[in-house]
């Protein structure tokens, strides 16, 4: 199916991301600026009107449940999606044995709503829509147990009726989308020649190469990469993004040998630096913040995984969606979640959004990001951590 171009890839600004340090220097750990609290604490305090102690307790409770979930996965439980209902973690499963294991861990199993069952509905939506040019995004909403379809405001009524008649499908209208291009995760990443993204997450390949995971559209064409001072810091080497074709928005940059990626997310002056403890796909409903050059520190919650979107005729699959505001130049920038766990790199969002700067949850809107776990797995990269 051909999705309508209504999402924006943002490719011309500074970046938010991991710190790069010259070789031979001590690790430039920003000791005076490291915020050792969970990066979501101030967000939850502001959003919910909680005290620091209340916010910490709330986040700790959710983190414990996600730790239990990771323990179940390690034991071989086949987790088919996970989402928060308040502070209760619901886990999609497909067998009685797995449901029993989930209950024993203090979590709530669901066999009627799962990621795979909604993915199948989403695939049926795309088949029914055919070559419709007015479809903007398609993807599961685990918390509602539906597949959400966004269509353009000028879409024909027959298309809306055809899709809305499907079981477990909701249809709404949406603005056009665009990618949002810009090695401290969150800082500027100049692309030679002439555009910018934000820095993503550094790591190492199995052969020991020092690399940076980023949005694929940021390194389409495999450009040379410069920092804010115009100093060469690396070069794009791999991308799965190809304009005008079905794509995945993940890419890889080689960091120059004299530079080193540092596992601290720069909150762009909002609340210091946050150390990266690992990487995961936190459950739907988890709090999440992102650092980007254009809009700074903005926050929200994870809304969905496996979204398919259209960026100007380039259909991108495998994205996550969050209620986090982004603009052009934020692309590639770091999303970090509860537990200081890396979540992904900015891909795109609605055209014409104004987020302000460092507005936290007040910025509103929504955006899409490439899950870092998927990119790291595909490229065989171990994410750098501060542990």
Residues classed as catalytic: 217, 249, 331
Structure-token pair, residue 136: 């903007």
Distance CA 272, CA 274 (A): 7
Structure-token pair, residue 153: 């405001």
Contacts of 216 (CB under 8 A, 6+ apart): 239, 240, 241, 247, 248, 249, 250, 251, 370
Residue 38 is classified by DSSP as -
Distance CA 335, CA 246 (A): 24
In degrees rounded to 5, what are phi and psi of residue 55?
A: -65, -40
Distance CA 331, CA 312 (A): 16
* Number of other CB atoms surrounding residue 54 within 10 Å: 13
Distance CA 14, CA 28 (A): 20
The sign one gets for the Cα dihedral 198, 348, 192, 374 is positive
Distance CA 387, CA 370 (A): 24
Measured in whole angstroms, how far is the alpha carbon of residue 301 from the centre of its chain?
11
Q: 115-129 vs 157-164: helix axis angle to the nearest 10? A: 150
Which CA distances in Å does 264 have to 140, 151, 192, 361? Answer: 32, 38, 25, 21
* Number of other CB atoms surrounding residue 27 within 10 Å: 11
Show contacts of 222-226: CB within 8 Å, 24+ apart: 223/191, 223/192, 223/193, 224/191, 224/192, 225/189, 225/190, 225/191, 225/192, 225/253, 226/189, 226/190, 226/191, 226/192
Q: Is residue 196 within 8 Å of residue 182, measured between CB atoms?
A: yes
């Amino acid at each position: 199916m051909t999705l309508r171009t209504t999402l924006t890839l943002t490719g011309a600004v500074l970046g938010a991301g991991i710190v790069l340090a010259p070789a031979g220097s001590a690790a430039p750990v920003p000791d005076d600026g490291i915020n050792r609290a969970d990066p979501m604490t101030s967000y939850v305090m502001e959003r919910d009107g909680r005290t620091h102690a209340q916010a910490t307790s709330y986040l700790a409770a959710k983190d414990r449940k996600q730790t239990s979930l990771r323990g179940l996965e390690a034991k071989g439980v086949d987790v088919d999606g996970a989402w928060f209902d308040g502070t209760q973690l619901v886990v999609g499963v497909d067998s009685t044995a797995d449901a029993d294991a989930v209950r024993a861990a203090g979590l709530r199993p669901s066999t009627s709503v799962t990621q795979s069952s909604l993915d199948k509905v989403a695939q049926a939506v795309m088949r029914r829509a055919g070559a419709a040019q007015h479809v903007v995004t398609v993807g599961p909403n685990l918390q509602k147990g539906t597949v959400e379809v966004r269509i353009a405001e000028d879409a024909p009524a027959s298309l809306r009726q055809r899709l809305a008649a499907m079981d477990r499908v909701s249809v709404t209208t949406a603005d056009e989308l665009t990618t949002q291009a810009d090695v401290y995760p969150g800082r500027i990443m100049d692309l030679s020649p002439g555009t910018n993204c934000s820095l993503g997450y550094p790591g190492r390949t199995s052969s020991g190469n020092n690399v940076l995971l980023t949005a694929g559209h940021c390194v389409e064409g495999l450009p040379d990469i410069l920092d804010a001072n115009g100093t060469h810091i690396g070069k794009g080497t791999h991308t799965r993004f190809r304009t005008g074709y079905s794509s995945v928005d993940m890419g890889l940059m080689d960091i120059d040998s004299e530079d080193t990626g540092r596992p601290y997310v720069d909150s762009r002056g909002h609340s210091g630096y946050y150390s990266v403890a690992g990487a995961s796909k936190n459950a739907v409903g988890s709090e999440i913040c992102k650092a980007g050059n254009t809009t700074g520190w903005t926050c929200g919650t994870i809304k969905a995984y496996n979204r398919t979107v259209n960026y100007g005729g380039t259909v991108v699959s495998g994205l996550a969606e969050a209620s986090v505001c982004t603009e052009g130049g934020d692309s590639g920038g770091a999303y970090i979640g509860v537990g200081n766990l890396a979540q992904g790199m900015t891909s795109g969002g609605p055209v014409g959004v104004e987020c302000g700067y460092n507005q936290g949850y007040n910025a509103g809107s929504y955006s899409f990001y490439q899950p870092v776990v998927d990119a790291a797995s595909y490229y065989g990269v171990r994410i750098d951590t501060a542990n």
